[in-house]
Homo-oligomer: A and B are copies of this chain.
Amino acid sequence: MKNKVNQMKIEKDMTVKQLAKAMSDSGVMGAGRIGKAVEVFEKILEEKQKNKKTGKEDCKLFFGLAGAMVPGGMKEIIHDMLISGTIDVFVTTGANLTHDLIEGLGYNHFKGNADVDDAELNKKGIDRIYDSFMPNNVYEGLEGFFEKIFDELPKEMNIRELLWEIGKRAPKNTILHICYEKQIPIFCPAISDSGIGLMIWGNLEKGKKLKVDVFDDLKEISRLAWDAKKPAVLYVGGGVPKNYIQQAMQFSPNAAAFGIQITTDRVEPGGSSGAELREGISWGKLNKNALFADVRCDATIALPLIWASVKK
């Protein structure tokens, strides 16, 4: 017992960075974990700065993002993390790519309410995502977009290539376009499980052709993991994105050297989404000497707080 819990002091008009510092100095419970996450993130950014000097890509940040992040107001933060060069490899769900594309096409999500009559919403053509509402007519916009670009797409690809090809043709302020533009490898193993998947299926039903291989880009993420001497992982919301990065870590020579996780899922049921980062050490997914922080918090609270603390 050497380090005391420094009771947090709040100052008028303090910055988020100062708040995170106070949380780190306190060092316990949820606040301590936020503070630790900021420390780990700073360290990752430092390591990435070294990359620039050495010209080697020793530290790469793999970002796995699940959950209703775009309906939940996190879109600009994700764009910012991608545009700023913070993220080197991006893995996400089809849902986030779809909702982001929808906003890129000019639609919006709206402040709603969870205590509503869902049958009423259905009549009005409103889709509910907890307390975020989306007009059902976004699907027309999506259809129009895919009808327009479908014939231009190469006829045979892997999923990562498909995402870049769509991104090339997508509105500028979308995750897909940003990843294409900045050549950030983007993975979405369950892409068929999304609005984008449905749009592609719709075109296939019309007799058009497109073959997208489900295993082919495994070699790409594996190589990215293999080449990084000090890989860093950031998991928000568990799901396939977390697990897909975890398995890349497991079968590469270097397990993750840095880790941050944000989730509200429980540890006790044993699933990957709620599993502690620490568990990854047994599998060789996380280095036993890794610096890591396991934040159990709503991501729409924790992610902005952490990002506002480390943003340069």
Contacts and interface: CB of A to CB of B under 8 A. Distances in A.
Interface of A: 1-17, 19, 22-23, 26-34, 66-68, 70-77, 80, 95, 103, 108-112, 114-115, 118-119, 121-122, 126-133, 135-136, 159, 189-195, 197-198, 200-201, 204-205, 210-219, 222, 237, 239-240, 243-244, 247, 251, 264-273, 275, 278-284, 288, 296-302, 304-305, 307-308, 311-312
Contacts of A12: 311-312
A74 B67 CA distance: 26
B304 A270 contact: no
Contact of A73 (B31, B77, B279): B31
Q: Please give the count of copies of this chain that the complex contains.
A: 4
A219 B197 CA distance: 11
Contacts of A72: 5, 26, 28-29, 31, 269-270
A127 B3 CA distance: 15
A301 B297 contact: yes
B111 A5 contact: yes
Contact of A118 (B6, B110, B282): B282
Given A118-B278, A135-B1, A301-B301, A270 B68 contact: yes
A111 to B, nearest CB: 4
29 contacts: A1-B126, A4-B110, A4-B111, A5-B73, A5-B132, A7-B70, A7-B74, A8-B77, A12-B312, A23-B300, A27-B111, A28-B109, A29-B298, A30-B299, A32-B111, A72-B270, A119-B288, A121-B282, A129-B279, A130-B279, A189-B190, A190-B193, A193-B240, A193-B243, A198-B251, A240-B240, A266-B296, A269-B299, A297-B298
